[in-house]
Amino acid sequence: MSASEGSTIGGIPPEVVTFLSGKGGRSLIVKGGAGTGKTTFGLELLERVGQPSRSYYLSTRIGDEALYRQFPWLKSTEMRTRVLDAAKLFLDAIGPGSRPRDPELPETEQKKVRAGREVLASFGQERGPPTRVDRTHLAALLKRSPMPEVENVYNRIERGLPDKSLLIIDSLEGVTHKYGLEMEEFVMALQKDLVEGSSTDVVMILEKPEAGGIEYLVDGLISIQREELDERRVRHLRLEKLRATNIGRARYAVTLDGGRFEALGVMNSSSPAASAGAWRPVADTERHYSTGIPDFDKLLGGGLKRGSFNAFEVDVNVGIDDYYMLFAPTFLNFLSQGRGIIAVLAAGESPEKLRDTLIKNVPPNQFDTRVRIPDYTTGETEDPYILPMARFGREDAMRAMVTAEKAVAGPDRKPFLEYTAFDTFESLMGDQVAIRMYFQAIARTKHVGNLGIGLLKPGLLVSSEILNMMDTYFRVINIDSAPCIYGIRPRTTIHAISPDPEKGLPHAVLTPIV
């Protein structure tokens, strides 16, 4: 295998990489209904886990040209040699110049070989690397029906010994139905001959969601399911069994974007760590403020409109770090262009955390002078960016906010970002007073040309009133430990939020879940 034990490969769950990277062969069944992405997963394993000269994809239900049309990235010379169309293998096996099948050992000799192996196993001794493919169980099946393409694959694997090979069979039903075999006996033959006898990794794709009685024969079992979430398609990969492998996460959200299989929330081992240094602003348009995330700007048609107020409803199982991955680029894009921020933080957030998050990419002095955070629980502070609202009466609080707005706007009176966690106002002032304040804030934002971002938490009484006033409305949710976002207004597909694989945090990318 090309991956070392314990390493991660972007898009493939690390548990699967570890499972297929262990010593000796492993068998794995991948099951799921039609359209769940099983074939795409198998092809992804072929490219990302298998070695080019020792990995084979045997397709019994779809020709290679059809595969190339559906998955154009397979057309490279390297990948074409690894995709084996069963029809072509049949012609290769019966045509001139084909390699004859190795003669079978007499039954008496086979018994001696098996007895010798059992004796070595009883002493706890390991056999050396195999140099020939064990064909004992295949030979028994061939007495009932010739299987030239399967024999051809055995021959190819043997030519790669003693190095380990990867074989992917798509599909298991296709082979067994073609030759009138019971699925259990064919799986047993692959398990004994290739996996145990020849140190080959064998991945078998099952065209149905249930594996029946063959599950106990193999070392690993993966299922892929598809469901609807708020009328949007979501796929899940479930690790049901991976023998001798620690399963850190049992389920992954999956996307098939661009014809590639990607388990979300998997970081490549070569991905950069969080970056520090000056933020390079993403350009605004004449009508929009950039979110600082090019993918999000594209989804919005240019960014968030100037003078707009935008609602983000954050689910209860989405952490602060998760939604800061979405908002921090917008904050940094404003600060790096000399614009300010007024931020009313949610319960659980803290001014210090926000400052620590942002000053890695903008100068601390720029944050201290152009950010103001009203703190309604604090009466005293030495931090210039915190407004200790608990010590003010109504009139003093209003004057403090006017002073704060002047500070963030600066001498050139630039528009600024208003970040408001609505749960804070509702808990402090009640829903009716909070709604009146929101009306005023939204009217000011639209008049001045600021950018408003509103954070909604589940269970707020003011949510229905607020959402009617918002220009956009997004939901931020957690799917199988991956933070995701989708638009209600405008309507969008679900996108996973993740660190930029090339730049690292605070740069982020959105990946459509399709």
Q: What is the pTM of this model?
A: 0.82
Residue 215 to residues 12, 138, 161, 166, 508, Cα–Cα distance (Å): 22, 20, 28, 20, 40
User: Could you give the C-alpha distances from 440 to 388, 435, 447, in angstroms and in order?
Assistant: 22, 9, 11
Band of pLDDT at residue 479, cut at 50, 70 and 90: very high
Q: Are 313 and 475 in contact (CB under 8 A)?
A: yes
Q: Which residue in this structure is represented by tokens 């991955």? A: 325
pLDDT tens readout for residues 49-71: 888 788 898 887 555 555 556 56
CA-nearest of 243, 23, 279 to 128 is 23
Give the residue carrying structure tokens 């000269």.
53
3-class DSSP string for 386-419: EEEHHHCCHHHHHHHHHHHHHHHHCCCCCCCEEE
Give me 45's structure tokens: 């394993």
Dihedral pair phi/psi, residue 126, rounded to 5°: -95, 140
d(CA 454, CA 87): 59
Dist. CA 130–CA 250, nearest whole Å: 33
Q: What is the pLDDT of residues 296-317, one digit of tens each?
A: 999 999 999 999 999 999 999 9
Instruction: List % helix, strand, coil for the chain (3-state, nearest 5).
Output: 40, 20, 40
Which residue, among 94, 190, 203, has the nearest Cα to 136 in the 3D structure?
190
Q: How far apart are CA 186 and CA 188, in angstroms?
A: 5
* Angle of CA points 27, 32, 34, to nearest 5°: 135
Could you give phi then psi for residue 296, rounded to 5 degrees? -70, -40
Complete domains list, the chain, with CATH: 52-74+83-101+114-198 (no CATH), 288-512 (3.40.50.300)
pLDDT above 50 (res 369): yes
Per-residue pLDDT of 428-462, as tens digits, reads: 665 566 667 677 777 777 778 899 999 988 876 66
In a 3-state reduction of DSSP, which class is residue 213?
Answer: helix
